[in-house]
Structure 1
Amino acid sequence: MKSTSSKRTLFLVVMAFFVALQVVVARVVSLEIGNVFRINFAFLVSALCGALLGPIPAAVCGVLSDFLGFLIRPVGAYHPGFAFTAALVGLAYGYLLHKKRPISIPNIILAGLFQVVICNFLLNSAWIMSFTGNTYVQTLWTRLPVEGVQAIAKPLILALVLPLVVPIVEREVHLD
């Protein structure tokens, strides 16, 4: 049996891994379209982090990865609203996916839709509006096509990937 300090150390190492992976996937392995759209697979890392670590650690990972990602590869000016959104995404994935085994497809879809509609589309549009000078409605209309596609693609990708990956990672990394 592992000691409590060994478990905490492993937990912190896994958190640090998720932060680093999220930074790399979001900032390095991404497709940028202008200054408004960035397409990447960091949502998979956020979902996996939430499913394995829980809501609060996933929120902390989201905030840290947003801040460190900006320091490593800034895109525009820093806006703390994006860190707030990242924390909210981590909370949602953690709340809906952590310790719920097997992970249900409805929870995966709900978490993915929450990220796309509430966090990316509604909240991030408000933060982006402050950079572009457009009104909120103009920003929403500009972002609607991409977010509409992502509202279908992200939950589908999550539903295909998470039920396969989470059990493998849990088997290999014993966090409990």
Structure 2
Amino acid sequence: MKTVKIIYGALLTAIKILLTRFFSIQLPTMRFSLSFIPTMMIGMLFNPFISGAIAAATDIIGFAIAPKGEYFYGYTLTAFLSGFVYSVFLYKKEVTLKRVVLATVINVVLLNMGLNTLWASITTGKAFFAVAGPRIVKNLIDIPLRIVIFMYLIKLLSKSGEFRKVFREEKSMG
């Protein structure tokens, strides 16, 4: 693994922690954040297991720096799976709308609406469906927003020589 990739991984980890813990809107059972962006970019840089491990470590480090509520391992599992899924679709692959849509839908529907709703139900003591209602609305709005934001960002960043050098080193960006 090249030093430059490690540095970008660390930088994206720090950005994710900042976006998640300090620049997000936190409600009792859901969070509004742009932290999916660095997770997706980590998925572009590293294989699924490393991406998942980075995402899980980011969750643990973020909690240690700025805890919001009690630590619950389920959210760390979801973070791992999120990094893993993004990497399955984006690592060493051309970034296409289809890949971004599939990765986003799996992350939002299965992980955010599924697992994270289960974790929110467990940690708040509320019934699953009582927690699910507002989360479903939020996450259905999130899907197109995440796709548009990420595709636009990739288009902008693809014009950067440094970005192309690091991210195109192993794959085509389309």
Common fold: TM-score over 0.5: yes
- State the SS of the aligned residue for 1:173: helix
Matches of 2:87 and 2:102 in 1, distance apart?
12
Structure 2 portions without partners, runs of 5+: none
User: Quick check: 157-166 or 111-120, which moved more?
Assistant: 157-166
Amino acid at match of 1:67: I
* Counterpart code for 1:62: A
How far is 1:172 from its partner?
4.2
Q: TM-score, normalised by structure 2?
A: 0.87
Contact 2:20/2:34 (8 A) holds in 1:
yes
**1:165 to 2:151 alignment:** no
Aligned counterpart, 1:53? 46
**Residue 137 of structure 1: aligned partner:** 129
Instruction: Name the % identity.
Output: 24
CA deviations 1:34-62 (Å, max 9, x no partner) are 32221111101100110122322211110
Paired residue secondary structure (1:41): coil
Counterpart residue identity of residue 131, structure 1: T
Q: What residue number does 1:28 align with?
A: 22
CA distance in 2, matches of 1:171, 1:107: 19
Whether the aligned pair in 1 keeps the contact of 2:29 and 2:131 (CA below 8 Å) is: no
Deviations 1:3-56 (A, max 9, x none): xxxx44443333222221110111111122x32221111101100110122322
Distance between the aligned counterparts of 1:153 and 1:98, measured in 2? 22
Deviations 1:80-136 (A, max 9, x none): 1111111111111111011112x1110011111111111111010011111211111
| Distance in structure 1 (CA, Å) of the matches to 2:8 and 2:163 | 12
* CA RMSD, 1 decimal: 1.9
- The 8 Å contact of residues 48 and 162 in structure 1, kept in 2 or not, is answered as no
Question: Residues 19 and 89 from structure 1, CA distance in 2 versus in 1: closer, same or farther, beyond 3 angstroms?
Answer: same
Contact 1:15–1:57 (CA under 8 A) maintained in structure 2:
no
Distance 2:154 2:103 in 1: 12
Aligned partner letter, 2:99: N
